[in-house]
Every structure is written in C-alpha cells, then in structure tokens.
Amino acid sequence: MAAFEEMGVLPEIGKAVEEMDWMLPTDVQAEAIPLILGGGDVLMAAETGSGKTGAFCLPIIQIVWETLKDLKEGKGGAGAAPSQTSPHWKLSVWDRGSAMAVTPDGMRCQSREQREWHGCRANKGLHSGGKYYYEATVTDEGLCRVGWSTGQASLDLGTDKFGFGFGGTGKKSNNKQFDSYGEPFGMHDVIGCYLDLDNMQIKFTKNEKDLGNAFNLPKQLHSATFFPAVVLKNAEMSFNFGAEPFKFKPSGGYTACASAAKEFVKNSDVAAAASTSKAKVVNNAPQAIIIEPSRELAEQTYNQIVKFKKFIEQPSIKDLLVIGGVNIKDQISVLNSGVDIVVGTPGRMEDLISGGQLALTHCRFFVLDEADGLLKQGYTEMINRLHRQIPKITSDGKRLQMIVCSATLHDFEVKKLANTLMHFPTWVDLKGEDAVPETVHHVVVPVDPQADQAWKNYRKHVQTDGVHARDNCSPSANSAEMLSEAVKMMKGEYAVHAINKHKMDKAIIFCRTKLDCDNLERYFNQLGGGPQNRNNPYSCVCLHGDRKPHERKSNLERFKRSEVKFLICTDVAARGIDITGLPFMINITLPDEKSNYVHRIGRVGRAERMGLAISLVSRVPEKVWFHGEWCSSRGRNCSNTRLTDAGGCCVWYNEPRYLADIEEHLNVTIQQVTPELDVPVDEFDGKVTYGQKRQNLGTGYENHVAQMAPTVKELAKLESQAQLIYLKKHLKKQG
C-alpha cells in the first residue's frame, strides 16, 4: 500500500502521485490531507516548495469524485427537506439577513434590529431585455432602502457596485455613494421600482410621482440578472410584484415582474440550492472553486490537478482554468458543457460569476491560495461577496469547506478573514513566523558608489530608469542624485559579475519595476549578442504585468525548458513559479514588503535542493519611480520626476532600512559578502552544488545505521521476551 493510501487517499490518486515520484507525503500533506478528508476547514501555512498544492488538491479531487459517484448511483440528498422552487414572485426566505423576517406569502418583510441593516432579495430576477416594475410600500416607521441588485451583491443594498437602492432619506446609493435623489419617503408611501433592461437604466417613483432616472447600469452588468431587493433597519415594507393590481399603474411600456416572459426570468441560485431536495449535477456549478493571485500560480495549480486525477475514471472529473488573456467565450463553452473544479484568478472569476455563467450553488470547497497575496491585492470585498453567495450547506446536505493557504497565518488580515468566514478552522502551521528554508543560502552584497568608484569609468552600462533626466549627475556634482544614478548603473554590473562568478546557467532576477525589468533585459541582450545568438551567455526573457498574457506564458515556458538562462521579473511572479532544482536568484532591489523577500528567495532551495539568493543593497538612498492614483497614466510614459510630496511620481528608496526591517522580521542577520562575491559555502553546508540536493541531511552522523544497529537489535530482543512472557501467562490461565 502506498504511503498516501494509508491516509485514506484513493488508490488511483496514489498511483498518480507515485508516477510523479512522490513516494512519501510531505509534512504539510501528512497534516492537512486527513483533516480535509474529514470535512473540516483548514488554515495552512508551510514553506514554499513544501507540497502545499498537493495538500489541498488531493483530498478535494477525492471528495469531488466520491460525490459524483454517489450521484451517478442515485445516492445523495439525504436529510434535505423536500421543497420546490416557487412559481410565484415573492421575497426569498433563503436569501435574507439573519434579523430579517419574511411572511409565509413572501409579500412583507420586517427587521426589528435597531443598530444594523438587514436585507432581502426576491426569489426571481430579470435579464436579457425588457422593462419591469414592482411596488414597495412602507408599512411601519423606520429606515428602509429599496431597489434592484444582482445575485452577487451584498444584502446591504447599495453598498457595493452590484446593488442600486433608493432610501427613505431621499438618497440613491450604489457602491457606498449616497447622492441626493427625488425626495424623502416614509409611512404609507408607495415606491415604484423601475428596471429598463433595454436602455440599462433604473428609476423610481413616489406615489406615482416620477423622480427621474437614478442609475445608468455599467456595461459589465449588462448580462447580469437583477433581483428586487430591500434593506431595513427597524422597519417594515410590503411588496407587490404584479400578482395583485398595482396602486399606481406604471406607464411607458413597463411590465409587472410577475408578467415577465419566462425566457427573461431566472430563479435565485441561493433559493434554488437551499430548496432542492436532492443533489443534482448543474453544468456551470462546480463543486470546488480555487482562487489564485496570479495567472502563473493558477496555471501551476491547474496542471497539478490534471496530473493528480490522471487515473480517476467512471466518473471522470472535469476541470477548468479561468484566467484573463484567454477568450472568455471558450471558458463559457466549457462551463456549459459541465465542470467540477474551477481554478482561476479573481478578475476573470468575478466576470463569469457576475454574468451568471459560473454558478456557486453547488460549491463544496472554497479555496484561497496565497490568501495574503489576494488580500494585499485588494480582493477582500470580492472574497466576502463570493462567500456570502455560496450556500453554507450544500444541496446534498454537506457543509461548505473552506481552505485558506497563506505564507503566514500570523498576518493580521489573514487572521481577520479566518475569524469572519471560516468555521472553527484547524491550523496547519508548519512555518510559524516567516522563515527562510534551510536549503537557501541568502547573502547581501553592499552597493556603495562612494567606496567602489568604478562606475565613473563605465563605457557601457544598463540603461537607467530616467528619474534623474533633469538632474546634474556628473561625477563632479557629488550630489545625492549623482550617487543614486551611480547605484542604478552599478547594480547592472554587479548582477553580471554575480552571473559570471558563480557560472550561473539558470536564475531568476527580481527587479522593482516593469521598466527596470525591460532595461535589464535590453542590457543582457546587448552584452550577449541578442536573442538571435544561440550561444548568448546572458539569454533572458521578461515576466511582468505589461507583457501580454500569451507572451508571459511563453517566456515562462522557455525558461522552464532551459531555452534561456535568466528570467527577469517583478513580484507578480514571486508567488507563482515552481521549478525544482532552481539554483540561483538575484534581487536587483530589495522589496519594500518584507514578506515578499521570503517569497522571492523561496523560488530557490525547493524540494530539498540547495539554492543561492543574492541581494544587491544600495548603501545610499536611491531615487525611484512611485506612481500612485494621482498619476493619470499610472506610470505609462510618465516623466514627472518630482518627489510625491511635491506633486511628482518619485520617492527616495532607503534599502538599508528595508534590509533592517527584513532582518527584524526574520529575526536573523543576513550574511554580507564583498562585491567580489566570494560566498563562503564551506561555512554553510559543506561542499555545496547549488541546484543539487543537500549532502548533509538527517542527523549528520557518519555511519548512522551501523551505530544504531546494536540498539535496534537489543530492542527486538526485549520485544520478543515480552511477548513470550505474555504468552506463558495466557497459557497458564487457560490450563
């Protein structure tokens, strides 16, 4: 029996991982796989290269397959209360806040919570065209807001970009923008809610008085489904969707919601999932959603899943990669034909969900990989929104499982997310606070233009970023700007020296900006004779956000296949590259996020292979680009070299301070070496060959087996004696 099978993993999956030369589970896999198979929420942190992807993918594949098999055999749905989706328009008892009460007929709602808003949506929505109307009447004093929202919106109507409301204070609201509109309303007032899907507009009336257009719906919501929605604070409202005569009949060709043609009506996914008595396969409703912070990491996880499920059959598992840069129509086509596991990036995932092409009604697993990265990229609200949409009890009676992987579980935002969304999660923290793997030798090389003045005689150097275009940077200037420009030239030369000194034939080189990457790529090509030179000692490719998706993918594949020696990239790639045995990494500039230092150097030293990470750290402040929201072009062709406090797009970058922050964060002093780059490997791990496995593994004792043999023999003898004593006593009792 394979080691993975002993943890309860299917033999077919065990066979696949054996084929990948995974003979034994890693520590994180041994901890997490049984927990996930057991049905619990798991928070997971482990060093990069520790097998974390397999730790959550293997059990997910198994549970998805077991669910599909049960459905195929007619099992599932035990314990669910039989109920059918109502043919009538009404407020949903499923899609509502915890303090919102809905009458049995679904025509009146009430919330007596005085401090919080609680909302509710109708059980049906409208899409694809037409003009529709419903009425809402205030039946008790309090605060209320009524209108339209997509199924993706928060129940707190009007506080995100998917909800459009009109409140009793005379304010219209969308995405937390509260603007004056119409006039206030209160007790006994009748609010008419108009949805024009032909012209993509929303308006309201008060007691038949037309208050004018309130919202023009954004283009990205043109294919969405819109549901009548309300949110209350200590208030009550009644609704009429058209089953009864309206108090104020709409004009202008508007139709009652209840009279809409069937092809324009869609049942609420939340209500449908909660009321279904038996689990069903819904083609565009996968059982597992895995969100990754980058295209590269999404592709890597997807490729792992393909390998893991290689021998899974009858039924087979269908998977889909959802990322930008790929025709969305192709992804929709796959969704419509059926999919069980979806791996993707947040942007494209949200596009498909908001457009109704990807449903969350049958989601059993909600996985956030590199969660700290997702949160830092600003996806907190999107994650919360998706979590609200996913039924917490699936249609076959199983509880939603959430798995969160992070570089560290000690990040405040990660802890906050876990406390908010997860159900008594088990921590699998094999890393603790950020730490550098023992297989990585990381050193700092000081770059000091005052001590090393060779830059004054450079005939050829890397093109700098242009921040000093208006400054006097001649050697005679002896200014901070001159030293900053010198550092930029020196770092290019130091990188070349590091490559030559250590005979690097494969390395990742991290730059701070996309412009720095482009400049270094151009310089390497100049030195080595360009891409057309097959023997170019500095052959390289670039990977950053301004490169087209297909180019990024092609460049990464070329680097992986060793068609080029160097991959020059920004932090966009720090979390997404997994190349076993990668020997070298160079930081042209330290990252300003201390956790990114660990992510960067974690690209080497994976799978017990030794790696060398070199950071070039300026001893003097360096002036660099810093384009914020104030920059109209966000950096494209920007020439505003003033400092940010003077209305410009530059800052002074203090690398010694960032180095101190990193060392304090890791609780280590990073070894410094001279610009000659004589790395003392003998003090690190004996004779080291970077990219190869460590030579001194385990205890480090010589002839360890021979030393332990007498002790093992003695233990075996004692065990035999103990068994004989027990057997004699047992036979004596029998006699």
DSSP helix/strand/coil, 91: strand
Query: What percent of the chain has pLDDT above 70?
Result: 89
Phi-psi region of 575 (alpha: psi -120 to 50; beta: other; left: phi over 0): alpha
Is the pLDDT reported for residue 384 higher than 50?
yes
- Smallest CA-to-CA distance from 508 within 448, 591, 568, 589 is with 568
197 near 261, Cβ under 8 Å? no
The kind and range of the H/E element at 3 are none
Closest CA to 45 of 364, 453, 373, 450: 373
Instruction: Tell me the average pLDDT across 6-27.
Output: 86
Report the alpha-carbon angle 612-490-643, nearest 5. 110
pLDDT tens column, 123-176: 999 999 999 999 999 998 899 999 999 998 999 999 999 999 999 999 999 999
Give the tokens for residue 502: 């250590």
Count the helices and strands in the chain (H runs, E runs): 17, 33
Distance, C-alpha 530 to centroid of its chain = 36
Mean predicted confidence (pLDDT) in 220-237: 95
**Calpha distance 652→643 (Å, rounded):** 8
* CB proximity list for 422: less than 8 A, separation 6 or greater: 41, 43, 402, 404
Confidence band, pLDDT 50/70/90 cuts, at residue 77: very low
Per-residue pLDDT tens digits for 606-659:
656 678 999 999 999 999 998 877 887 777 778 898 898 888 899 999 999 999
Rounded to an integer, the average pLDDT of 232-246 is 95
**Which comes out higher in pLDDT, residue 466 or 598?**
466
Which range (33-42, 274-283, 350-359, 485-494) has the least confidence?
274-283
Please give the structure tokens belonging to residue 525: 């090509």
End-to-end CA distance of the chain: 40
Residue 191's alpha-carbon distances to 165, 170, 182, in angstroms, are: 11, 12, 11
Q: Is the pLDDT of residue 79 over 60?
A: no
CA distances from 3 to 18, 34, 95, 574 (A): 9, 13, 45, 32
Averaged pLDDT, 25-39: 89
Q: E strand or H helix at 416, and its extent?
A: helix 412-421
**C-beta atoms surrounding 176 within 10 Å:** 10
The pLDDT value recorded for residue 694 is 55
CA nearest neighbour of 201 among 211, 191, 209: 211
Per-residue pLDDT, 396: 59
pLDDT at 82: 36
| CB-facing half-sphere around the CA of 672: CA atoms within 13 A | 11
Question: By the 8 A CB rule, do 342 and 367 touch?
Answer: no
Lowest-pLDDT range of 254-258, 280-284, 530-534: 280-284
Choice between 354 and 395, residue whose per-residue pLDDT is larger? 354
Q: Work out the number of other CB atoms within 10 angstroms of the CB of residue 721.
A: 10
Classify strands 671-672 and 440-447 as parallel, antiparallel or unpaired. Answer: parallel
Average pLDDT estimate for 524-541: 87
Per-residue pLDDT, averaged over 284-311, amounts to 92
Exposure string for 28-61, b = 16+ CB within 10 A, e = fewer? bbbbbbebbbeebbbbbbbbbbbbbbbbbbbbbb
- pLDDT at residue 433 greater than cutoff 80: no
Q: Which of 596, 654, 578 is nearest to 411 (CA)?
A: 596
State how far the alpha carbon of 443 is from the alpha carbons of 546, 605, 675, in Å: 30, 14, 11
Residue 500: per-residue pLDDT: 93
Whole-angstrom Cα distance, residue 465 to residue 519? 8
Question: Cβ of 581: how many Cβ atoms within 10 Å?
Answer: 17
Q: What is the pLDDT of residue 3?
A: 73
- Asked if residue 43 lies in contact with residue 427, where contact means CB atoms within 8 angstroms, the answer is yes
Angle made by CA atoms 381, 382, 385, in degrees to the nearest 5: 85
Rg over CA atoms, the chain: 31
**Mean predicted confidence (pLDDT) in 273-295:** 74
Comparing 4-18, 189-203, 673-687, 710-724, which segment has the lowest mean pLDDT? 673-687
The pLDDT score that the predictor gives to residue 57 is: 95
588 dihedral zone (left: phi>0; alpha: psi -120 to 50; beta): alpha
Of residues 559 and 412, the one with the higher pLDDT is 559
Average pLDDT over residues 594-599: 81
Burial of 360 (0-12, 13-18, 19+ CB in 10 A): buried
pLDDT at 604: 83
* Largest Cα span, the chain: 106
Residues in the chain: 735
Token reading at 669? 């002093």
> Looking at per-residue confidence, does 308 or 692 come out higher?
308
Average model confidence (pLDDT) across the chain? 86
Among the listed residues 212, 215, 284, 204, the one whose alpha carbon sits nearest the alpha carbon of residue 248: 204
Contact (Cβ atoms closer than 8 angstroms) between residue 609 and residue 437: no
Pairing of strands 143-150, 163-167: antiparallel
